[in-house]
Structure 1
């Protein structure tokens, strides 16, 4: 269960800059590190519930940030999100410092807008499901049998039969996550592109994926679904026994992430391309 604090409106005096966000929510994952940070920060100001907030401070890792962003999409109340890393990688988060004034850090932060994927999935029994993904949509084989998937981009079938463990469609924001692990390209945040990346492809053996304009719709149809069942995973939501999915970008549901000066998501995406383990 997420943790949040609700208190009376802030009665203190602030200058014009500090009033940029008057109503701020504080949420934290259930991990001990996030809960400890929550306990230390809740006394710094008065907080409100997320459904009343102008902005939200998120304590946790990238997974919990995605969870919070999805909650806002479900609530149809999208406000800027400022993450503080109490997880592992923290690619979408800022550095945590319990000695710093959270309100002042929030006011100095700069925003970056990202747009999620809009997904329509049809299962083998004909049921239609609407989903969204901030990082990526993945189609993954459910059994030992390799998946066989027909790939359509725009109005043309581009690959009649992709054979392998699956395929994924990634946004620029998600291109350094699962997409990168599958040897997909890192996309600049403002590129207006999507990455279409195969997962352990067997055929076509030399196809390594594609970079596509985000206004193009991608349709993935599962071949031999009874023998070779495939699951669709949209960020943290899984739907099994897929027949077909269609994917495009949803600019109408743009999300805003806040970062400390000099620590933007765009810079992190560039830096990731020069990282050497």
Structure 2
């Protein structure tokens, strides 16, 4: 990357992020994401995920600065020395999950997830879900509030709150984690190879409807969901050396 990269500044709608957008664009110039060397996302983790979904296909590195509530995927915000920070930043490559959902009406919905794909019951009735891995049934019936599949980058978020494992970045694994499992009561989930194909079949979907969410994209009334790691899509996030993603994921395992 050149010493003066072309930067596309993007910001969430919160006032301080919009103010930072105006100031940073005035100082460093503003370029469309398609023409930029690097994308600079100003906001929180939610906005970072939006940025990856909207512009991940451009294959441009993304440098985020926290101007939101949660900033696990972001660097600290400082108005000064941005070019030096980008030049010294360490890359972290993330590979998203691909989700394909079939609904009761017969439609199909596909989406990517950089954090997790989660199935959740839509009503007071517990969900009944069959789980298959690579074409083989592994759990005939999980009675639960839901179940999720998380990437290493997403394993410290909703997955960890549901008592799922934290996965090291670059471990080539994904987490399969139940949400409030009732039966089997002692099943805590599994750590799987990243290339595992996971198939969820919703049992009795009319009485016990289930929705699926890939990051923030929700599809309701699903009957089957297939999840696999993307074979050809990656995104590169840039992190300050003292604030790199791998170290933060490791540190999360020692928070008491």
TM-score range, shorter chain: over 0.9
Q: Corresponding residue for 2:97?
A: 117
**Contact 1:44–1:101 (CA<8 Å) still a contact in 2?**
no
Of stretches 182-191 and 49-58 in structure 1, the one that deviates more from structure 2 is: 49-58
Give the one of 62, 71, 90 matched to 1:90: 71
Give the one of 190, 199, 204 matched to 1:210: 190
Normalising by structure 2, report the TM-score.
0.97
- The superposition leaves residues 73-108 of structure 1 with CA deviations (integer Å, 9 ceiling, x where unpaired) of 4xx31210000000122000000112x121221111
Partners of 2:95 and 2:103 in 1: how far apart?
25
Q: Does 1:63 align with 2:46?
A: yes
Give the one of 224, 227, 230 matched to 1:244: 224
Give the one of 122, 139, 143 matched to 2:119: 139
- Cα deviation for residue 130 of structure 1 reads 1.2
- Cα deviation for residue 17 of structure 1 reads 5.2
Normalising by structure 1, report the TM-score.
0.90
- Cα deviation for residue 37 of structure 1 reads 1.6
Could you list the structure 1 runs, at least 4 aligned residues long, displaced by more than 2 angstroms after superposition.
none
Partners of 1:39 and 1:17 in 2: how far apart?
23
CA RMSD of aligned residues (A): 1.1
Q: Corresponding residue for 1:41?
A: 24
**Contact 2:7–2:28 (CA<8 Å) still a contact in 1?**
no
- Cα deviation for residue 262 of structure 1 reads 2.3
Q: Corresponding residue for 1:6?
A: none
The count of residues paired between Structure 1 and Structure 2 equals 256
Gaps of 5+ in 2: none
- Cα deviation for residue 33 of structure 1 reads 1.8
Q: Secondary structure at the match of 1:18?
A: coil
- Cα deviation for residue 196 of structure 1 reads 0.2
- Cα deviation for residue 52 of structure 1 reads 1.5
Gaps of 5+ in 1: 1-15
Partners of 1:261 and 1:211 in 2: how far apart?
29
For the pair shown, which has the larger CA radius of gyration, 1 or 2? 1
Partners of 1:69 and 1:167 in 2: how far apart?
24
- The superposition leaves residues 41-96 of structure 1 with CA deviations (integer Å, 9 ceiling, x where unpaired) of 222212201122121000000000000000014xx312100000001220000001
